[in-house]
Every structure is written in structure tokens, then in C-alpha cells.
Amino acid sequence: MLDAAPSRSFDPKDYLRLQYMPHFMCPGCGHGIALHALLAAVHDCGIAKDDLAVVCGIGCSGRVGGYIDANTFHTTHGRPLAFATGLKLARPDLTVVVVTGDGDCLAIGGNHLIHAARRNLDLTCLMLNNEVYGMTGGQASPTTAATRFTSTTQSGAIEPTFDACALAAAAGASFVGREVTRQAPALKTLIARALRHPGFSFVEVMSDCTEIYGRKNDLGEAPEMILSQKADMRPDSHRDATDQPFRPHALPTGVFVERDLPEYGARLRAHAAAIRKEAGR
Amino acid sequence: MTQMLDRRTMERREIRLAGSGGQGLILGARILFEAFAIEGRRASQSQSYEPTSRGGFCHSDVVVSEDLSDFPLVTGLDALIALDQVGYDRSIGLIKPDALVVVDERLAVRDVGRLHRLPLAARAVATGHARIANMVALGAFVTLSGLCHPVSLEEAIRRETPERFADLNLAAARVGYTLGETVAV
Amino acid sequence: MSARLTALHGNHACALASIAAGCRFFAGYPITPSSEIAEHMSHELPRIGGTFVQMEDELASIAAVVGASLGGLRAMTATSGPGFSLMQENIGYAAMTEVPCVIIDVMRGGPSTGMPTRPAQGDIMQARFGSHGDRPVIALAPASVQEIYTETIRAFDLAERLRTPVTVLYDQVIAQLLESVAVPPPEAVHVSERKWANGAGPAYQPYAAGEDGVPAMARPGDGHRAHTTGLTHSESGFPTQSPPVVDRMMRRLLGKIDVNQALIEKYETLMADDADVLIVAYGITARAARRAVTVLRAEGVKAGLFRPITLWPFPEAPLRRLAGPARAVLVPEMNAGQLVLEIQRLVGRDPPVHPLGRIDGEPIAPDEIVTAVKELAVHA
């Protein structure tokens, strides 16, 4: 099913619940680009909508799933990976995609991320990182860079940030990658690779929140924020001193981890089959 | 002739095995429970639920009652089997005035109920191992109480103990019968 | 084939009953004194094509259970007070999204870490009100190992039939108790099949229900591509904040319990019809009360027992009927006074309703109840 050739060219309308348009995302929000890339990747992989389950948490990222014409689950804050674990174990026939955010996945749901990565169940997790709690009014998240102004860091953030990809990789994820919303085609390709990867795939999508975060930090309007993404992605040694970095730390993009590890669901079923065989059932 | 408890009575009976963790008290109670079940009697078996496997006061109780919803915990003991001093000291306050009390001969006890001080540990060692004192005690208890038939006890021992220990446990129970019969005469 | 007698500990009986009820998914996290349920399930489920997964915490456990149930399996978890606290949010999610699941809460001494190896009955109000907002609640309170078996099966039946989480509450004493259980043959175990949206056409509304208040559920892959959300939603399953729609949906959700009260309600009485003093007790405490009634009647004191087996929704009408003619009502329970509040609400001031609480980690003994009843019988 996954590798079947797409029967027709990609039209996002085929994958959207058009009756719920226009969507609720702010103008300039990167989440729409991420949604488009996800749908294009689903199309490229030939996944039937009936066989696709999208599990979301809470926050702006949590609302993305509702627009997808698939089996969609808007769960509780921080827990989509845990819900998805139950769903995928119960229904290995489904392609289960988790759409989560930096707060949902790294703060309240951080424990579930590291354990999902460790188990290596065949889930694809898209973490839309906009560095802020957008839905609740722009509070600091675990990826809010130092010195940034948010409604809970009104004199500048001081906490260190998480590198979500390093975290997922260290916890054992068998596929880890990162891409920016500015590079939409590369993002689609990365998500498609993640969907095809048998095991836990973690994709960090560098999204941006113009309305609440960009404005507060003089990062410009959406075009400026999106255009500055690429510059900021360059390694430190290549950075121009005149850059006005949107993200002060260089974040590499691409696939960082792709390893062949036993997939948890298959392992669990093989283990059970061996037990049954031994028990003569 | 010792006073026998009528095992056909439908009355509630409360039995405690007391001692220290590691003496096989829970297994003993489980075997007793099973022996009653073999005779068609309904019972509840409970135990102190603490980390006691390496010593310290431990008890395991069996309450026999035909009322399935009867209170399953002990309220006044009809019988107490105590393998050591701590087991005796911590449980003696719970006995009914005419309770059957079976204790190891080395214990310091006062004259209560129908008291029988028996060489449980010594006979266990002579039979093969100190750890089968619980089975010696069960054998003596069955003879002295008449609450269940030795055949049921032996069947319960076979069901509840690993095969390689079954013969040793059965031998210990039979030593217990003899002890019980000796003092009962 | 008739039932066969098997010696089982309470938690073992719970696990076997779950499997007999068709449970094929268990997610949990170790916690005393419920861990034996997880241990038995981890052993049994792989042997019958089911799935056991030990999650990273209780938040994840209940989430995985709801996820598996959304996928179509009968699913459960088991925990004790501290874990039950952590599960509350997603129990509310299951109630709101109408996803069947069974939660076993083996009650131990609280609050906080409390006394992990000692019994208590301190979670009954949490079972009723623990999750935020108003939600439909079903909680069952077995009193024996036999009843753990039958009520666990009933929990699955009610959960699947009414599409709601069902909690089974029992305490450490019964959890660890060994008793003979009449295990029914498999063909005698009945659990309702969840109402699936089989063959529903494009007009299918995931949260539209008929007279029983229970909507048909879309199974992923069946072509409905439904949306499930914990946000307040309309019949379509999509969020709404329209006051009349919200009102209609919430009344239907909560009314699901009222409409099916006769199905859910279960209780037992002992000499309650002519009782001067009516004892209302549940779980292990009801067994002490039962012994107390026997002792009291033998002494000429007219005591009776009302034992709710379904704790929530409380069997209101039968309690009111039996409490009315009594001179006093006594509510012994292993907490500082929880169910007594509900009984006072139901009975009012006449007859007076008295608490008998014990919070030291010891079960309430029959003679404590005997003493309290005698006191009431004299002064009432």
C-alpha cells in the first residue's frame, strides 16, 4: 500500500475536509505549509485516506488533523503519542501519523516522546516547532530561544532550549530529520521518507508564528520570517555577520538518523507467536 | 479423647498460621484452603501483605464459611498455629477462649485454649529440613482439629507444591499426624 | 457446561474475567496493590492474540487504552489511587468522546502515596468527580473475589454497550484475597457488541444517537473517516460552541446514564425491609456489615444491609424506599466520610444518617459496626 504509485496528480483538495474551510490558522502561520507537505507526502506514498489515522494533541498543531479527510483524533495535551501507541498496536493495518507541537511534544508530552522513540513502534511524528505556545496566547515553550520575548518571558527568555532531534535520536528513534517550512518540497520529501520508514520516525518541522511570536520580537511579517529561516539554518561557520537571525542557533536540516532497528509492533507480534507456538496453541 | 471440631458443621471457622517470613506460612494456608475446597467447603485465605519474605512477623489466615459474602478476615481465632515466638505473641490476643493452639515446643507460652506444644521444628529437621515445619504443623493441626480429612490435606499438598518437594512435604505432614495423635490420646 | 470452582486471588480473577469478557488490549504501569492484574495480563494476552504493553506512566496507559479502543478492541487498564489520579483527564476524554474502556482501581490508603499495602475506600468520590466538568460516570464496587469476576465482565458489557469508561473499584484486601470462584464456561459470558456504524451512508453522524442515547461508532478503515475530539462537538463530531447544540449534546451525553439506569443499577439487600437501623456499605466493608447484621439479628436488634454493587450512578430509588421506614442509617466506609454524603443527600434528615469512618489502614471489623448499630438502635 505504501509504495503504490499515486493514481493521479496531487491535489490537496482531495485530502481536505473542505466543508471546514477556511481554516482557523493565522495568516502567515507555517502550519498550513506543513499540512500541505504532509498531504503531498501521503499522496506520494499512495496511502489511502481510509487507512490513514492522524492523531493530534492540543495547541495550534493539534488543530491541523481536523482538516484532513482521514480518521482523525484530536486528543489531550501532550498525549497524542500515547494514544497513537494504543491505536497502532490495535490496528497495525493503519498508517498512524502524529501531529504535535513543541509544547505538546517536548514539555507536557516529553516523557511520551522519549519512550515512543525507545520502543520504535511504526509511527510518524511531525513536531511543528513554532517556538511558542500560540493557542494560549504566546507563552514560552521548551524551544523558545534565549532573549526572546513572550507573554511569560516579558524581559526575555533565559532557559536553554531543547534540540528535539538530538533528543529523539538519543532516545532511540530510528528515523530523525528536520526541515523548514520555507523548503516545502524538501519538507514533503522528508515526510514521505519518514512515512515509508518502518519504525518510529521523528520529523521536526521548523514552522513560524508570525502573529504572536514574530510580532513581539520584531522578526518581521511572515515573508521575512520564512525567508530568514534558511539563513539561520546555515552552520555557524558559514553565517554572515550581518544576518539578523530569526533563530539564533544554527539548526541543521535533513535526515540525521536512519537506522534499521526492529519495529516494536512486529517484534511484539513475533514474540507472541513464539509464545503461542511453544504453548502449542 | 480430644475435643473435636465437627467438620460437617456449617459454622464459620477461623484459622491462623503465624510466624516469620520465609517459614512457608502462606503456602501452608493455601494448602489448607485447598484441602477445604477439596471437601466442597468455601473459604477465604488472606495474609499480611508486607515485604516479609526475609523475616519479621508474618501471618496467613483461612476463614471457612458457607456464606460466600461472609467477612473474609479473622475476628476471633478458632485455631492458631504458631511456628515461632513473634508469631505467637502477635496473634494470641485474637484467639477465642476455647481455641485450638498448636505451637512449637520451644515457645514461651501461657496456658490458653487447648494448647499443644509440639516439637514441630525438631521433627522437621529430623524428617529432612527445617523449612518443612509448616507441613508438620499442618499434619498435627488436621489430626487435632478434625476440621478436614488427612486425605484432603495430602491431595492439597500434591496440588500446591512442586513435584520435587511433594514427597518430602507429605512425609512431614504424616510426621505431624503422629505428633497430633500422640498428644490427642 | 456448568461453572467450575477455581481458587483465585482477587486481582487474578479480575484478569481472567477481563479476558473472558473479550479484553484484548491492556496498557498499564506498575503500582501496588494492582500490579498482579498487569502481570497476569502480560502472561495471558500474547497467548490469545491480544496485546499487553507496559507504558511509561499512567497518563500514557489510559491514553493507549483509549487509542486501542478507538481502533476497535476491548481495552482496559488497572491502577491504584496515585495512578487513578493521573488518569483522570483521559477518563474524561473517553467519556466525552464516548470510547468504551475499563479502568480497575484497587484502592489503597491515601492521600498521596499513603499506604501502598493497606486497604482503603477513599477513591469513590474521585471515581465520581475526579475528572473536570460534568460527565457520565459508571463505577462498580465488587465485594468478593467472585464478584470481582462477575463485575469485571459487567464493566466491559456496560462500557461497550453504552460507549463510556467504566471504573471497577475494590480494595487491597479483596485484591489479595484467595477465594473459590465459580468460573462460568465461555459460552455463558455475555458482553454486548459495541454499536458500530456498519454500512451507514453519507448521512452518518458520528454523535447522533437514538433513544438509548448511544451513537454508533465509526471504526477506522470502515470508510467513515470520522473526527474524534475532546472539544465539545456537535453530532458531526466537529467542535461547536453553539449554545443550543452544546446543550443538546451535553444533555444527551449525561442522559445516557439516566436512560439506561435500569441496566446499570445493581444492589443487594439483607434483612433490610424491616430494619430499624439500615447499614449502607460497599466492598469489603459490606462483608463486615453482613456479619454484623447476622450477629445483631441473633441478639434481637433489627439491623439490615443495603449494599450498592453499582456505586455510580447510585441506586437512589431502592435506597430511599428502604431507608424511609428505618429509624437510623449507618454508613461504614474506609475513608473520612464519602458515600455518607450521598446517602445524606438522598435520605435527608429523617431518618438521620450517620458516618462510621476508618482511616488507619485497617478494614472495618464486624464488631465495630455491631457497636455502632446498637448505639443507634438505643438512641434512635
Alpha-carbon gap: C97 to the closest alpha carbon of chain A (Å): 9
Average pLDDT over residues C89-99: 98
Answer yes or no: do A272 and C47 touch at CB < 8 A.
Answer: yes
Of C178, C219, C203, residue with least CA distance to C72: C219
The pair phi, psi for residue A142, each rounded to 5°, is -65, -5
When CB atoms are compared, the residue of A73, A89, A114 closest to C68 is A89
| Residue C177 Rama label (left phi>0; alpha psi -120 to 50; beta) | beta
Residue B45's DSSP bridge partners are: B62, C178
Whether the per-residue pLDDT at A279 is higher than 70: the answer is yes
The count of structural domains within chain B is 1
User: Once rounded to an integer, what is the mean pLDDT over residues C116-143?
Assistant: 97
The answer as to whether C374 is a domain residue is yes
Contacts of A276 in chain C (CB under 8 A): 46-47, 49
- Determine B/C contact with 3+ CB pairs under 8 A as the test: yes
Which of C148, C166, C149 has its CA nearest to residue C157? C166
Kindly state whether residue B34 falls inside one of the protein's structural domains: yes
Q: Is B2 exposed, middle or buried (0-12, 13-18, 19+ CB in 10 A)?
A: middle
d(CA C11, CA C69): 22
Residue B2 lies in a domain: no
Mean pLDDT of C231-245: 98
Asked if residue C126 is part of any domain, the answer here is yes
In terms of CA atoms, which chain A residue is nearest residue C218?
Answer: A71
Contact C311, C136 (CB under 8 A): no
What whole-number distance in Å separates Cα of residue C172 and Cα of residue C109? 9
- Same-domain check for residues C15 and C152: yes
CATH of the domain at C309: 3.40.50.920
Which has more confidence, A252 or C36? C36
pLDDT (0 to 100) of residue A244: 44
Residue-level pLDDT at A231: 60
Same domain, C56 and C151: yes
Using alpha carbons, select from C163, C358, C149, C380 the residue that is nearest to residue C257: C163
- What is the pLDDT of chain A when averaged over all its residues? 91
Mean pLDDT of all residues in chain C? 96
- Identify the chains in contact with B, defined as 3+ C-beta pairs within 8 A: C
The DSSP letter of residue C372 is H
pLDDT confidence bin for A243, thresholds 50/70/90: very low
pLDDT, tens digit, 9 for 90 and up, residues C145-196: 999 999 999 999 999 999 999 999 999 999 999 999 999 999 999 999 999 9
| Per-residue CA distances from B13 to A31, B10, B115, B134 (Å) | 71, 9, 17, 20
Q: Give the pLDDT score at A160.
A: 92
Q: Do C179 and B47 touch (CB under 8 A)?
A: no
C239 to chain B nearest CA, in Å?
Answer: 48
Distance CA B175, CA B154 (A): 12
Distance CA A135, CA A112 (A): 21
What strands lie across the sheet with C303-308, from one edge to the other? C267-270, C303-308, C277-280, C328-333, C353-357
ipTM over 0.90: yes
Cell output for C48: 490469545
Cβ-based interface (< 8 Å): residues of A facing C:
17, 20, 49-51, 53, 55, 65-66, 69-76, 78-79, 82-91, 93-94, 111-112, 114-115, 268, 271-272, 275-276, 279, 281
The total number of structural domains that make up chain C:
2
Question: Range of C285's domain?
Answer: 268-379
DSSP code of C272?
-
Beta strands in chain C (DSSP E): 4-9, 23-28, 51-54, 74-80, 101-109, 115-119, 138-140, 165-171, 178-183, 227-229, 267-270, 277-280, 303-308, 310-312, 328-333, 353-357
Question: In this model, does residue A241 exceed pLDDT 50?
Answer: no
Domain ranges of chain A: 12-279
Q: What is the pLDDT of residue A229?
A: 77
Edge-first strand listing for the sheet containing C178-183: B114-118, B95-104, B77-82, B13-20, B57-64, B43-47, C178-183, C4-9
d(Cα C307, Cα C324) in Å, to the nearest integer? 16
Instruction: Choose the most confident range, by mean pLDDT, from A1-5, A239-243, C127-131.
Output: C127-131
CA distance B11 to C14: 29
Give the pLDDT band of residue C116 (cuts 50, 70, 90).
Answer: very high
A133-143 average pLDDT score: 96
B73 CB neighbours in chain C (<8 A) are: 173, 363, 365
Query: Average pLDDT for residues A19-38, to the nearest whole number?
Result: 94
Residue ranges of chain B whose pLDDT lies below 70: 1-10, 49-55, 185
Predicted confidence at residue C380, as pLDDT, reads: 65
pLDDT given at position A248: 58
C51 touches chain A (CB under 8 A): yes
Model pLDDT for residues A83-124, shown as the tens digit of each residue: 999 999 999 999 999 999 999 999 999 999 999 999 999 999
Residue by residue, DSSP assigns C221-270 as TSS---EEESS-B-TTSSB---HHHHHHHHHHHHHHHHHTHHHH--EEEE
DSSP assignment letter at C164: S
Residue C302: what pLDDT? Answer: 97
Say if residue A235's pLDDT is above 50. Answer: no
Please name the helix (run of DSSP H) or strand (run of DSSP E) that holds residue B63, with its range, or none.
strand B57-64
In this prediction, residue A195 carries a pLDDT of 98
A181, A226 Cβ separation under 8 angstroms: yes
Instruction: Quote the pLDDT of residue C198.
Output: 83
Query: How distant, in Å, are the alpha carbons of C115, C360, C364 from that of C110?
Result: 6, 10, 16
Confidence of residue C378 (pLDDT cuts 50, 70, 90): confident
* Rounded CA separation C367/C380 (Å): 19
- Whether residue C123 is predicted with pLDDT greater than 50 in this model: the reply is yes
How far, in Å, CA of A102 to CA of C89, rounded?
21
Q: Are residues C27 and C173 in the same domain?
A: yes
Q: Which amino acid is at A96?
A: V
Q: Is the pLDDT of residue A281 over 70?
A: no
All three cell numbers of A26, joined, read 493565522
Instruction: Classify the C-alpha dihedral C304-C308-C314-C316 as positive or negative.
Output: negative
Pairing of β A124-129 and β A95-101: parallel
Task: Compute the distance between CA of residue A32 and CA of residue A30 in angstroms, rounded to an integer.
Answer: 5
**All cell numbers assigned to A107:** 514539555
* pLDDT value for A246: 55
> Residue A249's pLDDT band (boundaries 50, 70, 90)?
low
C-alpha cell at position B50: 508486607
Chain B neighbors of C144, CB-CB under 8 A: 68-69, 72
C291 closest CB neighbour out of B34, B47, B70: B70
Q: What is the pLDDT of residues C272-319, one digit of tens each?
A: 999 999 999 999 999 999 999 999 999 999 999 999 999 999 999 999
C-alpha cell at A25: 490558522
Å between C80 CA and nearest CA of chain A: 20
Question: What range does the domain containing B153 cover?
Answer: 13-180
- pLDDT on residue C94: 98
- C318 within some domain: yes
| Secondary structure of residue B161 in the 3-state scheme | coil
**Is the distance from CB of C329 to CB of C280 less than 8 angstroms?**
yes
The tens digit of pLDDT for each residue in C314-358 reads 999 999 999 999 999 999 999 999 999 999 999 999 999 999 999
For residues C184 and C284, membership in a common domain is answered with no
Look at residue A228 and tell me whether its pLDDT is greater than 90.
Answer: no
Task: Say whether pLDDT at A230 is over 80.
Answer: no
Contact C106, C146 (CB under 8 A): no
Beta bridge partners of C269: C306
In which band, very low, low, confident or very high, does the pLDDT at A239 lie, cut at 50, 70 and 90?
A: very low
How far is Cα A112 from Cα B109, in angstroms, rounded to an integer? 59
Select from C180, C297, C368 the residue whose CB has the most chain B CBs within 10 Å, as the one to mutate to test that interface.
C180
| Residue C151: per-residue pLDDT | 98
Q: Check: CATH 3.40.50.970 for A12-279?
A: yes
* Within-domain flag for B31: yes
Regarding whether C118 and C24 lie in a shared domain, the answer is yes
Question: Given pLDDT bands bounded at 50, 70 and 90, which one contains residue A171?
Answer: very high
